[in-house]
Each structure stands twice: as C-alpha cells, then as structure tokens.
C-alpha cells in the first residue's frame, strides 16, 4: 500500500511514519507548506506569535526531512500556501469581523489536510494518506453489512483522553475516511514518546506544538489586530446592579466563556463594543449577540460522518462537545437543532460535535 504521510516535524507524525513502514507500507513523507504571516507585521521581540511563525516552517520542514532520512523514506514538500490563506486565514478573519468565534483547526482539517493534501496525494499515486492525529478509524462491521446490507466506516475518539482530536475531525466523510490512516490513535501519548525513543527518531524529545493548525503559538488578538480595526470598550459585570469593572481591547476579539478581569464573558454587543461578564458562567440567557445560556441551538453546515442523520434504528447522539476538551453534555439532535438537557454557553461560529459513546457521529457550526 502506498501511503503519503503528512510529516509536520513533530513526534506524532514521525512515529506514525515509522509504524506504517514497519507494517510494510510504501511510505512517502510530505511536508505541507502553508501560509505564514509576513515579517512586516513585526510583533514585539520575545512575544510568541507572528515573527516566529514567519520562519518557523523552515525549522519544522528541517525536522521532517531529518525524520524521513532516518527512516529512509522519500520526502517531498507540498505547497498549499494559497489554499491555506483562502480557506483558513481569510475565513478566520472574516468570522471574527462578523462577531463570530471560528474554529480554524476544524477548517484546516477539512480544507487542507483532508482536502487539498488528500487530493494532491492521490494525484501523485498514493492509495491513502496518514496523519499523526489522535483518533481511530474502524472499518464497516461485517454483522451490519450482513444484517442491513450496508457498511459505514466509523470515527472514534483517540485512546488517550488528554490527546483525543476527534473533535476537530467532525467534517470528515466516508470517502475521506476510506483513504486515511491514523497510526497512533490507539496509543497513549506516553507510548508514542517511548516508541520515538526506541526508534531513535531525531524528534523524540521535541515538545508538542501549540496553537493554531500550522500557524503555531500565535497570539490571536495580536494577529487579528493587524486585519481588524477596533478600539477599547467597557466591560460590564452582570448582576442585580450592572456596573463597569474595566476595559477590553475590542469586543470582536473575545468569545463567550473566555475569562477577562477574572470573570467569564457571557455576552457581548459588537455594535456597542461592550462585554458582559459574571463570576460564574452558569447564568441566565442574556440578550447580547446571542450570548448567555441556551438549551436549543440552531446549527448550520451539519455533517454526518455516516453520510446521513441517524434514524431511530441507528446510533443516536447521546452527548455533544461544545469545545475541545469540553465536557460531554447530554444532547439530542433534530434537523438543524441540537437540544441540551441543561443550558450551555456557546458562541456563534463554534463547532458542536455529536458522539455516541466514543463514536464521533458528526457535528455542525452554531448559527
């Protein structure tokens, strides 16, 4: 089997490549070059973010090349700069401008890793791609195929609950899953690290990357300030008597549930450029930009990984996850509406992901 592995320069993809080769696959390592913020944005020295990102990809590619050389596999660089700028960066900026809270990692997986990269790999003769995601792919159940004449590939949470990345993969389709492999999804992070040491991979002790997909540890407010013009505004504490407790850098830069001045943002008014905060985010619904607690939430861009919404004879959503590493909250989905047993704090643009136990069924974007 010819597999193109996305080598990011990190330990997870490196171990994934090693496991694929050990399993007998013909492995081709590929570094995906994406858009990086121009150095002209000029962040203050010493601050993690754009200045480092403008040259960090070269360091990551160097590490990816070292891994490929160590494993004795071919290596290529695939330039997806244009696709990333249009599909991820422009999308993210546009969403923030409209007062929404986008998830660039979800869009990165949809449009880049399992979109443009997958298409490029197939064009180059690969049978499948692989990544270092902590998630699992389960082939169709023989009993289901015999009983109902159909088979669905399932996406499961990664075994390591601290590293599970299925939340970011809810947009995947049956066709994409059929051409993808997650070699480390059944492992704990500690086991991946140990394998890297045993295999003497050159990135065995490298720290995990942080921040936005491919952009790294970018200071989001600093980044957005170069593309979105805003101004400081007032922060109001909600309660029996609403009072001003301080200022913020611009309402567009904040999302519901985020902490500022030691309290939680539970509402915002973009037009008036104000934030509403409370000491406890479990507050009644507030009429600010769809803020506050809600039980019934409208979604758009819904994707069911099976290809269609489960009916009464299939698996039905039992829990929903509102944010990465968020709580598993009881829910039901009907049409384009997800209903929670208890009100939850969500912001327009966020992803809500549906699960049945550890099976990721799909998800949607909050309207």
Distance CA 55, CA 45 (A): 14
Report the pLDDT value the prediction gives residue 147, as an integer from 0 to 100.
53
| 315 membership: H or E segment, kind and range | none
Report the pLDDT value the prediction gives residue 287, as an integer from 0 to 100.
45
Is residue 176 in a domain? no
Active site residues: 108, 213
CATH number of residue 249's parent domain: 2.30.30
- Give the burial class of 131: count Cβ atoms within 10 A of its Cβ; 0-12 exposed, 13-18 middle, 19 or more buried: buried
Is residue 175 in a domain? no
Is residue 147 in a domain? no
Residues 254 and 206 in one domain: no
The whole-model pTM stands at: 0.89
Report the pLDDT value the prediction gives residue 47, as an integer from 0 to 100.
44
Domain span at residue 122? 2-132+183-221
Is residue 164 in a domain? no
Q: How far is CA 59 from the centre of its chain?
A: 23
Q: What average pLDDT values come out for the chain (367 residues) when binned by 10 residues?
A: 96 98 98 83 48 69 97 97 94 93 94 97 98 95 58 94 97 97 98 98 90 69 86 87 90 90 90 88 49 83 90 66 91 90 89 95 95
Is residue 337 in a domain? yes
Report the pLDDT value the prediction gives residue 220, as an integer from 0 to 100.
80
Q: Are 321 and 362 in contact (CB under 8 A)?
A: no
Residues 270 and 357 in one domain: no
Side-chain-side CA neighbours of 246 within 13 Å: the count stands at: 11
Q: How far is CA 47 from the centre of its chain?
A: 24
Residues 246 and 335 in one domain: no
Q: Are 327 and 271 in contact (CB under 8 A)?
A: no
Residues 120 and 256 in one domain: no
């Amino acid at each position: 089997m010819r597999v193109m592995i996305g080598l990011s320069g990190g330990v997870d993809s490196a171990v994934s490549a090693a496991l694929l080769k050990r399993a007998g696959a013909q492995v081709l390592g590929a570094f995906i070059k994406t858009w990086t913020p121009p150095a002209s944005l000029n962040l203050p020295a010493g601050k993690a973010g754009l200045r480092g990102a403008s040259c960090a990809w070269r360091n990551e590619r160097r590490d990816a090349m070292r891994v490929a050389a160590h494993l004795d596999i071919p290596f290529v660089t695939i330039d997806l700069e244009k696709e990333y700028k249009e599909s991820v960066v422009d999308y993210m900026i546009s969403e923030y401008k409209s007062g929404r809270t986008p998830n660039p990692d979800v869009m990165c997986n949809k449009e880049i890793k399992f979109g443009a990269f997958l298409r490029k790999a197939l064009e180059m003769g690969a049978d499948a791609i692989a990544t270092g995601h902590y998630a699992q792919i389960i082939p169709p159940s023989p009993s289901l195929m015999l009983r109902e004449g159909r088979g669905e590939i399932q996406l499961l949470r990664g075994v390591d609950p601290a590293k599970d990345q299925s939340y970011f993969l809810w947009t995947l389709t049956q066709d994409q899953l059929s051409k993808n492999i997650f070699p480390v999804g059944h492992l704990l992070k500690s086991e991946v690290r140990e394998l890297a040491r045993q295999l003497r991979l050159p990135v065995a002790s490298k720290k995990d990357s942080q921040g936005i997909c491919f952009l790294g540890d970018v200071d989001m407010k600093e980044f957005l300030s170069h593309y979105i013009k805003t101004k400081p505004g007032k922060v109001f504490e909600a309660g029996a008597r609403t009072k001003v407790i301080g200022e913020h850098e611009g309402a567009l830069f904040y999302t519901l549930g985020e902490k500022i001045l030691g309290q939680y943002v539970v509402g915002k008014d973009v037009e008036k450029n104000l934030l509403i905060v409370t000491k406890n985010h479990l507050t009644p619904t507030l009429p600010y930009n769809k803020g506050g607690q809600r039980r019934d939430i409208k979604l758009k861009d819904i994707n069911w990984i099976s290809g269609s919404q489960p009916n009464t004879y299939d698996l039905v959503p039992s829990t929903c996850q509102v944010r990465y590493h968020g709580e598993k909250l009881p829910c039901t989905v009907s049409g384009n509406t997800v209903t929670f047993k208890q009100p939850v704090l969500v912001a327009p643009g966020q992803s809500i992901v549906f699960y049945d136990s550890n099976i990721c069924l799909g998800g949607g974007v909050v309207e």
